[in-house]
Chain A
Amino acid sequence: MNERCAHNRQRAALAVFVLCLSSMAVGQPDSTGELKQLSLEELMDIQVTSVARHSESILQAPASVEVITHDEIRRSGVTSIAEALRLADNLQVAQKNSHDWGISARGFNASLANKLLVMIDGRTVYTPLFSGVFWNDQDYLLEDIERIEVISGPGGTLWGANAVNGVINIITRTAADTQGLYAEAGGGNQLKALTGARYGGTLGAGASYRVYGKYFDRDDEVYAGGRAAGDGWHQAQTGFRIDSAASARDMLSLHGDFYQGHAGLNTGGAARTAGGNVLGRWTHAMSDESELNLQTYYDRTHLVDPIPQAALNGVVLAPAGLLHDDLTTYDLDVQHRISLAGGNSLVWGLGYRYTHDVVRNAPGIGFLPTTLNQNLFSAFLQDEIAIRPDLSLILGSKIEHNDYTGFEYEPNIRVRWSLAQDQSLWSAISRAARTPSRIDRDLVEPAPPYTTILTGGTDYGSEYVTAYEAGYKGRVSTTSTASVSVFRNDYRDVRSLSFTPGTIFPVFIANNVAGHTEGVEVTADGQLLQSWSVHAGYDYLHERLHVRPGQSDLTHALGETADPKHRISIRSSLHLAAQLNWDAAVRWVDALVVNGGSLVGKVPAYFELDTRLGWALSPSLEVSVSGQNLLHDHHPEYGFPSPARIEIQRSVYGKIAWRR
């Protein structure tokens, strides 16, 4: 009986995870280079804006922060935002198939990873379906991305729920920084086609704009045996951005993006995705010491996902069918920064978000209720107090009210001690919450009238972390910088798949896992020669989670983690000749312990190499050849070992970029 029971659990678990949702012309010079060409008289005639003058260099922020620059993105040869995130050592990036990635900071990179907050130009992009990110839906013309800031560790005070283990902030260039024509085209063995174009100009007086479009087509990845997995992906996106200086103290921005994608599934068929957003922002500098930010956006996503039939022990529970999801989000945020006498820098803000989610259930998977409207209110206050010139204290808290769990409090306290020029020590204690997502509460697998074997938990509450962090960052010589961060996170009420007492089924989602993680993040950057810079990063992570005594979890507390213990990356960027650049990146990722329901499996450790050679034929024309994952024909980065696990192939492509 016990054996039978265990067997049932295994089959149930496999069924559950097979069914997983995760299938898824300038008026005046602006750039530094142009400004340097001006005479003093001309320079004195340039109008300047004092907006955003208080934006602190993120490198001085008392947290574990890495910044991926425009130049790094361009020179690495990456072709998507998800690939670009490999350039941040404090993130674990695992590619699951041609269009899905698992991306996480400080562990918890489960198939429904949910502890990271991701924003593009201030717009939150996670889906309330599972509080994670559909990475295939997040795209941009990479040429127009200014930088990506990656913060590992809780960011709950400023950014709110879901910033449990980290925040990714993707910032696009201003319209004034992207003037003129840019066009790119390329292709290779995996990336069958890549095209993109942008044009930026001025709107008569007062404003700059850009419009862009892009399209790509990716080939299938393969199974371990080399057979194509049917997961090819193509997607098109277009968008615009307008920036206007209404006065020296006012900046207005309007952004919009629209996309449509077709992502093949190895379970048959293809997920069809579409979406769009419009965002407006007004920044007003009231005085030298005070700045107000008002932002609002509207965002829609549409997903049609073929769900295969659900079966348990060879018995078909529900036939195959389509899952539809249509999510509409309205968001309004106000933020005010003010520097007060006595060395206080205050930031406070208010936010409201309304989401309207409509699901049409597939037989194999569904959400009840199918339509859900939610309201999220938030308020935060943070004060940075300069106790001495070299010592500052940051205190703050966010208060949120969500429809599932009511009020949530996310306080933090940080200390920064500047040792000497460009060197500082910092430490922080924070608390953050991961509030329930629809999958935690509303999931039914399969959906009625079929027999449900997995359901959301009606009492499912928030998960909490208390994080203790400390770090050093600084310039260790005139040509090198380094940073070290250590952390310990205590988690409680983490998601579990628990058994209904007596009947086992339906398995339901509960908060029965707790535990802690510890880790170290190290980075070093050196300019070895004028023309040669290197970067090295190392991450260590130890995760210890357990099922709460007297409770059950189908996955033995492994369901939320699939993380390497060690990761190493080394990158080199070499300026070979005036017009020739050669970049290379090696990464080593330790084995992942993954679960397939109650079964434990492994993704083996691997080495991989990416490289790019770029040649500027003229100031306006560059050709490049990039290779990704060159060391193996194909290798797995994620997933329980099974014949259906998809492996990532070697990719080589060429590209021509032209700007005028």
Chain B
Amino acid sequence: MATMKRAGPVAACVLLFLGLSVSAAVPPAEYRVKAVFLFNFAQFVDWPPDAFTAPGQPFVIGVLGKDPFGAELDAVVRGETVSHRSLVVERYFNIAELHNCHILYIARSEIGHLPQILKALEGRSVLTVSDADGDDQTGVMIRLVSRSNRVGLQIDVGAAKAGHLTISSKLLRPAEIVGGPEG
């Protein structure tokens, strides 16, 4: 009986490991990769000059709603610059808190309020990004979609154009283009 007790947990540990040995190495956390995508968007999208009110004004990546990134997004932008502007992360609970924001990640918790959010951003040069599931997200400029455990991109060129944003072909090439160009 004593021997049984001793062997039990060790056997359990070994059993846990019989399940492994497929695919490649341990993948990084989903939101680490998505944070790097947001950082890349800052480099592959051109904002109109009036998106910045002062020469030294930082480039702002905003997170609206329940933040899934933890410390990942902050870690990605730390010490980085985009066209000589430092990058900062801001977090909002309400779209009304947003003032100078260049990329806005709309968290899953806010997707129910999407029409109001997009209305509040109308005419402003804010690149909207979402990774929520479901089809009813018309008007979000870039969607991070899940494709066999990888992150794919869907870009609504028309919506971006309406916000006076120019998306580099480098970003468009690997993406799936949705929505037609407007006007």
A residues near B (Cβ < 8 Å) are: 26-32, 35-36, 38, 40-41, 43-53, 55-57, 59-60, 174-176, 202-208, 242-248, 250-252, 254, 278-282, 288, 296-298, 330, 332, 354, 386, 389-390, 418, 420-422, 478, 530
Beyond A204-B21, A254-B17, A288-B133, 17 additional pairs, beta carbon < 8 A: A40-B174, A41-B174, A43-B33, A48-B29, A48-B149, A49-B149, A53-B68, A175-B26, A203-B20, A207-B25, A244-B20, A245-B23, A245-B26, A250-B19, A251-B26, A252-B16, A296-B12
Q: How far is the CA of A256 from the CA of B27 in the complex (A)?
A: 22
B17 to chain A: closest CB distance in Å?
Answer: 6
Give the residues in chain A near B29, CB-CB below 8 Å: 48-49, 51-53
17 examples of A-B residue contacts, CB within 8 angstroms: A29-B28, A30-B25, A32-B75, A44-B152, A46-B27, A48-B28, A49-B28, A53-B30, A55-B70, A203-B20, A206-B22, A208-B26, A278-B9, A296-B12, A330-B8, A389-B94, A478-B88
Is the beta-carbon distance between B70 and A205 smaller than 8 angstroms? no
Which of B86-144 touch A at CB < 8 Å?
Answer: 88, 90-94, 97, 109, 133
Q: How far is the CA of A69 from the CA of B152 in the complex (A)?
A: 32
B residues near A (Cβ < 8 Å) are: 5, 8-10, 12-13, 16-17, 19-33, 35-37, 39-40, 44, 58, 65, 67-72, 75-76, 79, 88, 90-94, 97, 109, 133, 149-153, 170-171, 174
Residue of A nearest to B76 (CB): A32
Give the residues in chain B near A59, CB-CB below 8 Å: 71
State whether A278 and B39 are in contact (beta carbons under 8 Å apart), knowing that A49-B27, A250-B19 are contacts in the complex: no
A496 to chain B: closest CB distance in Å?
Answer: 37
Residue of A nearest to B168 (CB): A40
Is the beta-carbon distance between B26 and A280 smaller than 8 angstroms? no
Is the beta-carbon distance between A205 and B58 smaller than 8 angstroms? no
Q: How far is the CA of A60 from the CA of B66 in the complex (A)?
A: 11
Q: How far is the CA of A242 from the CA of B36 in the complex (A)?
A: 26
A52 to chain B: closest CB distance in Å?
Answer: 7
Which listed residue (A43, A247, A278) contacts B151, Cβ 8 A? A43
Is the beta-carbon distance between A46 and B26 smaller than 8 angstroms? no
Which listed residue (A47, A53, A203, A422) contacts B91, Cβ 8 A? A422
B169 to chain A: closest CB distance in Å?
Answer: 11
Is the beta-carbon distance between B153 and A44 smaller than 8 angstroms? yes
Q: How far is the CA of A245 from the CA of B12 in the complex (A)?
A: 18
User: What are the 3 tightest A-B residue pairs by CB atom distance, in nearest-first order?
Assistant: A27-B25, A27-B24, A280-B13
Task: Give the most central of A40, A174, A244, A279: most B CB within 10 Å.
Answer: A40
Is the beta-carbon distance between B40 and A40 smaller than 8 angstroms? yes
State whether A48 and B19 are in contact (beta carbons under 8 Å apart), knowing that A27-B25, A35-B33, A176-B25 are contacts in the complex: no
Interface of B is mostly: mixed
Give the residues in chain B near A281, CB-CB below 8 Å: 16
Q: How far is the CA of A478 from the CA of B28 in the complex (A)?
A: 29
Q: How far is the CA of A87 from the CA of B13 in the complex (A)?
A: 34
Is the beta-carbon distance between B26 and A174 smaller than 8 angstroms? yes
Which listed residue (A29, A36, A205) contacts B22, Cβ 8 A? A205
Give the residues in chain A near B92, CB-CB below 8 Å: 421
Is the beta-carbon distance between B30 and A48 smaller than 8 angstroms? yes
Give the residues in chain A near B65, CB-CB below 8 Å: 389
Give the residues in chain A near B68, CB-CB below 8 Å: 53
Is the beta-carbon distance between B153 and A297 smaller than 8 angstroms? no
Residue of A nearest to B15 (CB): A280
Residue of A nearest to B149 (CB): A248
Is the beta-carbon distance between A296 and B24 smaller than 8 angstroms? no
Give the residues in chain B near A418, CB-CB below 8 Å: 93
Interface of A is mostly: mixed
State whether A28 and B24 are in contact (beta carbons under 8 Å apart), knowing that A48-B29, A48-B149, A280-B13 are contacts in the complex: yes
Give the residues in chain B near A47, CB-CB below 8 Å: 23-24, 27, 149-150
Give the residues in chain A near B35, CB-CB below 8 Å: 32
Residue of A nearest to B110 (CB): A389
Is the beta-carbon distance between A421 and B28 smaller than 8 angstroms? no
Give the residues in chain A near B44, CB-CB below 8 Å: 40
Is the beta-carbon distance between A57 and B33 smaller than 8 angstroms? no
Which listed residue (B22, B150, B170) contacts A247, Cβ 8 A? B22
Give the residues in chain B near A282, CB-CB below 8 Å: 16
Is the beta-carbon distance between B9 and A330 smaller than 8 angstroms? yes
Q: How far is the CA of A243 from the CA of B28 in the complex (A)?
A: 12
Residue of B nearest to A294 (CB): B16
Is the beta-carbon distance between A30 and B28 smaller than 8 angstroms? yes
Is the beta-carbon distance between B27 and A43 smaller than 8 angstroms? no
Residue of A nearest to B2 (CB): A356
Give the residues in chain A near B26, CB-CB below 8 Å: 30, 49, 174-176, 207-208, 243-245, 251
B86 to chain A: closest CB distance in Å?
Answer: 8
State whether A297 and B9 are in contact (beta carbons under 8 Å apart), knowing that A47-B150, A389-B109 are contacts in the complex: yes
Is the beta-carbon distance between A57 and B67 smaller than 8 angstroms? yes
State whether A280 and B16 are in contact (beta carbons under 8 Å apart), knowing that A43-B37, A43-B151, A248-B149 are contacts in the complex: yes
Residue of A nearest to B171 (CB): A40
A428 to chain B: closest CB distance in Å?
Answer: 20
Give the residues in chain B near A297, CB-CB below 8 Å: 9
Task: Give the most central of B19, B24, B35, B67: most A CB within 10 Å.
Answer: B24
Q: How far is the CA of A56 from the CA of B109 in the complex (A)?
A: 14
Q: How far is the CA of A36 from the CA of B171 in the complex (A)?
A: 15
Q: How far is the CA of A418 from the CA of B96 in the complex (A)?
A: 14
Q: How far is the CA of A254 from the CA of B174 in the complex (A)?
A: 38
Which listed residue (B24, B36, B151) contacts A36, Cβ 8 A? B36
Q: How far is the CA of A207 from the CA of B149 in the complex (A)?
A: 17
Q: How far is the CA of A26 from the CA of B28 in the complex (A)?
A: 11
Task: Give the most central of B27, B58, B170: most A CB within 10 Å.
Answer: B27
Give the residues in chain A near B97, CB-CB below 8 Å: 420-421
B84 to chain A: closest CB distance in Å?
Answer: 13
Q: How far is the CA of A418 from the CA of B36 in the complex (A)?
A: 27
Q: How far is the CA of A50 from the CA of B25 in the complex (A)?
A: 15
Give the residues in chain B near A254, CB-CB below 8 Å: 13, 16-17
Q: How far is the CA of A27 from the CA of B26 in the complex (A)?
A: 8
Q: How far is the CA of A421 from the CA of B61 in the complex (A)?
A: 13
